[in-house]
Amino acid sequence: MKPRHPVPLNALRAFEAAARCLSFQLAAEQLFVTPAAVSHQVKRLEAYLGVKLFHRGHRAVELTAEGDALAASLGELFASLDLALDRAIAPTTAHLRVSTMESFAAKWLAPRLHRFHRDCPELKLRIETGNEPADFVRDGIDVAIRYGPGGYSGVRAERFLDAPVFPVCAPVLADGQSPPATPDDLRQHTLLHDESATGRAGVPDWAAWLKASGVDKVDATRGPVFASIYLAQEAAVAGHGIALGVAPLVEDDLRRGRLIKPFEPVLANAYGFWIVRRQGDDASPAVEAFCRWLRNEACAA
């Protein structure tokens, strides 16, 4: 077995903080030492490695190419170390950080969470919203739920919910109109558009739905455009028009009578909802319990 490097760990910590802050002063404040101590540790590391890690100016420091490469690796390593220590310090209390879309959190996850807390009262969830690629190490995310086509690289991903699309509207529209009775009636109604569906292969928009319905006298571009599925569907709940609902995100509103499904057809969607986790990570029992609960809820939906 290759022996470990006798690397000065305090020097690594000082360098990582200085590289992250690009300031010996700020790094010193984080580490509760003096700027001179940080500078001394960085010089010690440079001497050990035989490379220069910073270009030092009068009032600023800048990473060299070697320093930049080392800082990137150390950032990930220290984040993993912090996560391991968090788990070791409180082994009896499991906290899970879950990242998901705002619409999914509000419309699918939140209405079901009481069942998760009933089944797993010892687990505490922190729900965070976002749809950008999850950085499990840097952000400390345990599980991400994403809406997309799959094919995510460098992670474990499983599709657990399909996302068929169909028109939805309020049972009573805000302008006094009755809901449309047939697809042709859409000529007299406002179409609500989700910008995130535009240009995504296999994701139905109004043009695709009208074509599938055999309707050719409705302007598929007419009506306001919203930046997210959530906003478009909330506008529909408020009675401001007809939206294309994504099934998992409207099922609770349909069940409660806040939305109705005026007519067919239902179109398949190339996008779906995915459980995403770290690649090759031996998941904790808490992570496994949460993912198992997601699958069970999906099957029961």
Burial 49-85 (b: 16+ CB within 10 A, else e): beeebbeeeeeebebeeebeebbeebeeebbeeeeee
| pLDDT at residue 64 in the model | 92
| pLDDT at residue 119 in the model | 86
Spans of the chain below 50 pLDDT: none
| pLDDT at residue 260 in the model | 96
| pLDDT at residue 186 in the model | 94
Which H helix or E strand runs over 290?
helix 285-300
| pLDDT at residue 270 in the model | 96
pTM for the model: 0.69
259/172 Cα distance (integer angstroms): 9
212/293 Cα distance (integer angstroms): 35
| pLDDT at residue 298 in the model | 93
Contact at 8 Å (CB) between 189 and 180?
yes
